A and B are shown apart, each in its own frame.
Chain A
Amino acid sequence: MLRKIFLPSILLVLAYGFWISPDFKEISAGVAIFLFGMLSLEEGFKAFTGGLLENMLRRTTDKLWKSLSFGFVTTSIMQSSSLVSVITISFLSAGLISLAAGIGIIFGANLGTTTGAWLVAGFGLKVKISAYAMPMIVFGVILVFQKSKELKGIGYVLSGLGFLFLGIHHMKEGFDAFSGTLDLTKFAVDGYSGVLLFTLLGLIATVVMQSSHATLVLIITALAVQQITYENALALAIGANVGTTVTAILGAMSANVEGRRLAGAHLIFNIVTAALAIGLIYQLTHVVDIVSGWLGIGHDNYTLKLAVFHTLFNLMGVLLMTPFINPMVKFLEGYITAKTWAVSQPRFLHESALEFTDTALKAVRKETLHLYDNAFEIIAAGLRLQPGLVHSDMPIEELIRTANRGDPIDIDERYNVRIKGLYGNIIDFISQVTMDMTVAQTEELFELRTAGRDIVEAIKDIKHLQKNLDVYMVSNNPRIREEYDAIRLQLATVLRGLSLVREQGDDSAAILSLDNLKSEVDYSEAKIISTVDELIRNNRISPEMATSLMNDSSYAYNISSKLVEMGEALFSSGSPDLRDAERSIALEDDEIEAVMLLSQNKGSIKDA
């Protein structure tokens, strides 16, 4: 109900305001142009998120100081803590960074937003920035129409900056004209009641505009023409800081548990910092005077003093809260917990991961690996192997001997609980990845989808295989038992081989060794077929047994081939370019066959 009347009320109030005051109209237009500039700036930086930002995040979040610096630097450059928050939540949801690193980035981003105040107070109000805005917008828009993704990105950034400057110019002009007709300082409130009232106003303004940066620019421009008092401006800045958390909370609503924890950390940081700033506001203003004196800022230069205050209280928050990041992580992990489900639920597929193609692809990759983990347990259990032992160093032959020969598992039931829903979620998520994708990204998504299908088909084949396996594993005929053990050995070798390759996903040679696993599968399949021929010829097995064995060996071959193909698509942890290089060197089936034939001929010549 409240939501329904909120938007029309805002529109009505604004329309009435425009009618009675052209100056108010100019200020509002300034804010709107400024916000549009921010949107354009965000769009521009998104163009550079493919790979570049991901690599930066990977390299710059392994230590706390690096996470803090990353948050500070990126927010200073992009001038949007919201974009940094959204990217961080999206990377955290996709499992690319730890919660502690995410909190570090958010703390750094809070400090990074303070550079905006310095830019506006130090540069924006002193120079006629509208003179820079026009050419920026013109050049920017021309570049936006270019085909190249990079040029388009630069165009959006340039026009975004142009609109920011233009917005600031109109706010300044509006307040200048406003001061001639109306003195807003008449509404100033002194003392702590004034601090609390203006903090609340700053908070509301930021929630409405969804940008603390815009609120701050509005405060600075109003302060420059003395439409608000310095003390009230400080309180408004505190309120803007708290208000920005709302954006993070809204972003976290669709995120997973890690994203919600990060929003919790953001909220704690901003509330603690704001409470301290309100409590110590008079002491802080004294420190601001001292620091301003050191920096040579004039006693009556309130706009720059506001920038000093904004930086100081955020720096105070960072210094105070940083030592508590680890306890905060523990608290948030204990307080905000993930639901536990009997049915396997997606861990990485969240709406926030859909924001950027890269994170969406990463999320699909991780979730498909999760699907494989579930499938691995079912396949191992279907072969009567203990999953833990398949991962161990135990010789494969011994692994087959020590296998569990108890009751068969219900693969259908396990498929329904552990695979079906999860696979459906992956397919559904993939269908939602609708943003502009490069050819390479489209191919990657196709490969990931195929990998998921390979996993599901492998499970269906193991279900067929299990029926005869359970019968012949305990048969009185030792030859058929041996042959079914050979099938189990082949599949166990593939499962272990895949585990070893996955562990070394960063080593291209390990990924390429999957070609060897393929050749081993071909080799053991050929061996099984020739043995079956021999067994039939010598009447060692019945015709029914032979039929079952031929069918099941075919199932085993399909399972092995599909799992190896899945491994090729999923296990490499390198960059997309590196994965591409690995794939281009990997051998095709006929190439493997030719190499094997050549190596066999060499062997026979040697033997002769």
Chain B
Amino acid sequence: MKVKKLFAQAEDFLNSDNRKRKEKKKCLIHVLKKLDKYEDKLNERLRDAEDDEVIDKLNRKLALAQAQQKKGRVLMKELG
């Protein structure tokens, strides 16, 4: 079993396409998590905001972050 696992790991290491895809997916997950946190912060600020101009700016930022999230999720699906 251990030998099988070792072979699988070695194959994984030498299969650079697969490795690169996994690495890309890992990085995308990392970026999407950061975006989640950023969106939470924007929502928090939006709840406290009273000035119309500030609300407008925050809404625009939020819309962009959501579009980026959407784009990221599509890419994740493509990577499988």
Chains A and B form a bound pair: yes
- Residues of chain A whose beta carbon lies under 8 Å from any beta carbon of chain B: 148-151, 507-509, 512-513, 515-516, 519, 574-575, 577-578, 580-582, 584-587, 591-592, 595-596, 598-599, 602-603
Excluding A581-B27, A581-B28, 16 further A-B contacts by CB distance (< 8 Å) are A148-B14, A509-B65, A515-B68, A516-B60, A519-B64, A574-B27, A575-B27, A580-B24, A581-B31, A584-B71, A585-B72, A585-B75, A587-B67, A595-B64, A595-B67, A599-B63
Residue of B31, B35, B60, B67 most packed against chain A (CB within 10 A): B31
B37-74 Cβ-contact flags toward A at 8 Å (1 or 0): 11000000000000000001001110111011001100
Min CB–CB distance B12 → chain A (angstroms): 12
Nearest A-chain residue to B26, judged by Cβ? A577
| B16 in contact with A148 (CB, 8 Å) | yes
Query: Cβ of B11 < 8 Å from any Cβ of A?
Result: no
| B31 in contact with A512 (CB, 8 Å) | yes
State the interface size on chain B (CB cutoff 8 A).
27
Question: Could you tell me the distance between the alpha carbons of A150 and B20 in the complex, rounded to whole angstroms?
Answer: 13
Contacts of B56 in A (CB 8 A): 603
| A516 in contact with B61 (CB, 8 Å) | yes
| B63 in contact with A151 (CB, 8 Å) | no
Question: Could you tell me the distance between the alpha carbons of A456 and B51 in the complex, rounded to whole angstroms?
Answer: 39
| B61 in contact with A513 (CB, 8 Å) | yes
A sample of 5 inter-chain contacts (CB < 8 A) reads: A150-B14, A581-B24, A587-B68, A591-B71, A603-B59
| B68 in contact with A585 (CB, 8 Å) | yes
Given contacts A509-B38, A577-B24, contact A150 B13 (CB under 8 A): yes
Min CB–CB distance B40 → chain A (angstroms): 10
| B30 in contact with A512 (CB, 8 Å) | no
Q: Which of these, B13, B30, B60, contacts A599 with CB under 8 Å?
A: B60
| A581 in contact with B14 (CB, 8 Å) | no
| A507 in contact with B34 (CB, 8 Å) | yes
Contacts of A509 in B (CB 8 A): 31, 34-35, 37-38, 65
Q: Which of these, B30, B61, B63, contacts A581 with CB under 8 Å?
A: B30
Question: Could you tell me the distance between the alpha carbons of A513 and B59 in the complex, rounded to whole angstroms?
Answer: 13
| A515 in contact with B14 (CB, 8 Å) | no
| B37 in contact with A595 (CB, 8 Å) | no
Q: Which of these, B13, B38, B63, B75, contacts A584 with CB under 8 Å?
A: B75
Question: Could you tell me the distance between the alpha carbons of A584 and B78 in the complex, rounded to whole angstroms?
Answer: 12
Question: Could you tell me the distance between the alpha carbons of A582 and B37 in the complex, rounded to whole angstroms?
Answer: 15
Q: Which of these, A148, A507, A519, A578, contacts B60 with CB under 8 Å?
A: A519
Question: Could you tell me the distance between the alpha carbons of A582 and B35 in the complex, rounded to whole angstroms?
Answer: 10
| A585 in contact with B64 (CB, 8 Å) | no
Min CB–CB distance A600 → chain B (angstroms): 9
Min CB–CB distance A42 → chain B (angstroms): 22
| B14 in contact with A512 (CB, 8 Å) | no
Question: Which are the 9 A-B pairs with shortest beta-carbon distances?
Answer: A509-B38, A581-B27, A508-B31, A599-B63, A509-B34, A508-B34, A585-B72, A595-B67, A578-B27
| A150 in contact with B35 (CB, 8 Å) | no
Nearest B-chain residue to A574, judged by Cβ? B27
| B24 in contact with A598 (CB, 8 Å) | no
Min CB–CB distance B48 → chain A (angstroms): 19
Q: Which of these, A148, A151, A578, contacts B30 with CB under 8 Å?
A: A578
| B60 in contact with A580 (CB, 8 Å) | no
Min CB–CB distance B57 → chain A (angstroms): 8
Min CB–CB distance A568 → chain B (angstroms): 13
Nearest A-chain residue to B71, judged by Cβ? A585
Contacts of B35 in A (CB 8 A): 508-509, 512, 585
| B64 in contact with A515 (CB, 8 Å) | yes
| B37 in contact with A584 (CB, 8 Å) | no
Nearest B-chain residue to A606, judged by Cβ? B59
Question: Could you tell me the distance between the alpha carbons of A148 and B75 in the complex, rounded to whole angstroms?
Answer: 26
Q: Which of these, A151, A578, A585, contacts B14 with CB under 8 Å?
A: A151
Min CB–CB distance A54 → chain B (angstroms): 15
Nearest B-chain residue to A592, judged by Cβ? B64
Contacts of B23 in A (CB 8 A): 577
Min CB–CB distance A593 → chain B (angstroms): 11
Question: Could you tell me the distance between the alpha carbons of A580 and B38 in the complex, rounded to whole angstroms?
Answer: 19
Question: Could you tell me the distance between the alpha carbons of A592 and B71 in the complex, rounded to whole angstroms?
Answer: 12
Residue of B32, B56, B60, B75 most packed against chain A (CB within 10 A): B60
Nearest A-chain residue to B29, judged by Cβ? A581
| A516 in contact with B27 (CB, 8 Å) | no
| B31 in contact with A582 (CB, 8 Å) | yes
Min CB–CB distance B75 → chain A (angstroms): 6
Nearest A-chain residue to B41, judged by Cβ? A509
Min CB–CB distance B59 → chain A (angstroms): 6
Contacts of A592 in B (CB 8 A): 64
Question: Could you tell me the distance between the alpha carbons of A580 and B65 in the complex, rounded to whole angstroms?
Answer: 18
| A584 in contact with B67 (CB, 8 Å) | no
Min CB–CB distance A526 → chain B (angstroms): 13
Min CB–CB distance A598 → chain B (angstroms): 7
Question: Could you tell me the distance between the alpha carbons of A532 and B71 in the complex, rounded to whole angstroms?
Answer: 36
Min CB–CB distance A181 → chain B (angstroms): 49
Q: Which of these, A149, A512, A578, A591, contacts B65 with CB under 8 Å?
A: A512
